[in-house]
Amino acid sequence: GGWRCLGIPAPGAGAVGGAENQRACAGLRLSVYYGGTFDPVHLGHIAVADAACRLLHTSVHIVPSADPPHRAPASASAEQRATMVELAIAGHQGLVCDRRELRRSGKSYCVDTLCGLRAELGGTQPIAWLIGMDAFIGLDGWHEWPALFDLAHFVVVQRPEQSLRSMSAGLQNACNGRWQTSPEALYSTPAGKLYIMPLALRHESSTAIRAGLARHEDVSAYLPSAVAEYIQFHQLYASGV
């Protein structure tokens, strides 16, 4: 399990939701992290983070990837993408830009980030990883993916056009018994539960925004104004890469 990276036993000796574990977690706030390339960050990303902040009654740490292993290299530098996140969340109470992956060398594997968070926050702190449905249904392609359930809960952002039915049999089996009908259930244990967060349909797409910028189209309607100005000033994505 993922707890091996800390040299400590899994919570509840491997059983999610044990009474002893629930007592240890009582009164703890949920720590929420939202990872991604954010290349560039757009209004859809901010809507997800704001909605999670309201629903889960806690701050949301947005974690830009330094070198994402699951996708093609980002089109803006890690520092530029993190700066755009900081510009996008200005004035949004409860949203924080977390640069921890930029400070770590090598690939940005989620399991390594969560191991670091566990070491930092302790074994009883409830941690949730906020993730889009499109990314979650491909979770079994991630590095050491079974260990992720030992390290954090997952809050999966529902997209109307996507379905959990497209998950592999292996991932479906790993998710059995973990789904919760209420976000409050995530507070009672440190890790291992799943919750679907409904969200109204959003049309923003970083891929489409980059393509539009490469064609010199006006995509400012999909971007926080400060991000649009930053992209224009630095001439990002103009080459279409």
SS3 category, 151 = helix
Token pair listed for 156: 């999966």
Question: Which tens digits make up the pLDDT trace of 110-140?
Answer: 999 999 999 999 999 999 999 999 899 999 9
Token pair listed for 110: 């989620």
Question: Which tens digits make up the pLDDT trace of 72-117?
Answer: 655 798 999 999 999 999 999 999 999 999 998 878 899 999 999 9
Strand partners, 32: 60, 128
Classify residue 208 by burial, with Cβ atoms within 10 Å: 0-12, 13-18, 19+: middle
Question: Which tens digits make up the pLDDT trace of 155-213?
Answer: 999 876 677 888 999 999 999 999 999 999 999 999 999 999 988 778 889 999 999 99
- Cα-to-chain-centroid distance, residue 211: 24
CA atoms of 227 and 206, how far apart (whole Å): 13
How many Å from the N-terminal Cα to the C-terminal Cα in the chain? 38
SS3 category, 194 = strand
CA atoms of 88 and 95, how far apart (whole Å): 10
Tell me what pLDDT residue 238 has. Answer: 83
Virtual CA dihedral for 77, 78, 81, 86, nearest 10 degrees? -140
CA atoms of 3 and 234, how far apart (whole Å): 42
Helix/strand/coil (H, E, C) string of 21-82?
Answer: HHHHHCCCCCEEEEEECCCCCCHHHHHHHHHHHHHHCCCEEEEECCCCCCCCCCCCCHHHHH
